[in-house]
Amino acid sequence: MGSDKTRLELAGVPLAVKAAALLTDFLEDVVLVGGDPPPEAPGRRVPDPEGPRCALRGLVGALEAARGERVVVLATDLPLLTPDLVLGLIAQPPADAVVPRDAEGSHPLCAVYRRVPVLAAARAQLAEDRLALRALLEALDTRFVEGDALRALDPDGDALLNVNDEADLARVRAVVG
């Protein structure tokens, strides 16, 4: 987008506020990692750790700051995400990573991670400058939620639409109405 997505608004609500509020409804500890989220976004704020600008660095920051054994990781740019999908991921049998996968691919920034083993693997990858989250998922015991199981959690098929550019934002706004 060329700007901080945390403050990008949908229906008058900044994306970071929407994402954090969704999680505070059923999670004890919400951590906002990096960026500059608006002050009204609920949750603890922690900076990104040192390193290259990439999603893996943000994941490491989230896992380092987390207090629980299982950690829900949610990118700010998923404004149509529903509690049903997040709770459905949490309810899956435990694995190092529980990740939705649709026709667009896997969504590692909408996932549930086992903190200790994933943090170790993510730190190692970051230190080796292997920054792709796909490679991290391949190195872990990853359970993908896809097909009929994903459709049961997201019957409209739009919960994983993310906002990476103006066209994505227009598409999401069209869904919202």
Distance in angstroms (rounded) separating the CA atoms of residues 132 and 15: 24
Domains of the chain: 49-176 (3.90.550.10)
Runs of H (alpha helix) within the chain: 15-24, 55-65, 83-91, 115-127, 133-139, 147-153, 166-176
Distance in angstroms (rounded) separating the CA atoms of residues 65 and 55: 15
What is the model's pLDDT at position 3?
66
What is the model's pLDDT at position 2?
62
What is the model's pLDDT at position 139?
96
Distance in angstroms (rounded) separating the CA atoms of residues 62 and 33: 6
Entry pTM = 0.93
87: three-class secondary structure by DSSP:
helix
The structure tokens listed for 72 are 């829900």
Phi, psi of 41 (to 5 degrees): -70, 120
3: three-class secondary structure by DSSP:
coil
List the chain pLDDT tens, one digit each, 177 residues: 566 777 778 888 888 999 999 999 899 999 999 888 899 999 999 988 888 889 999 999 999 999 999 999 999 999 999 999 999 999 999 899 999 999 999 999 999 999 999 999 999 999 999 999 999 999 999 999 999 999 999 999 999 998 888 888 888 888 887
What is the identity of the amino acid at 93? P
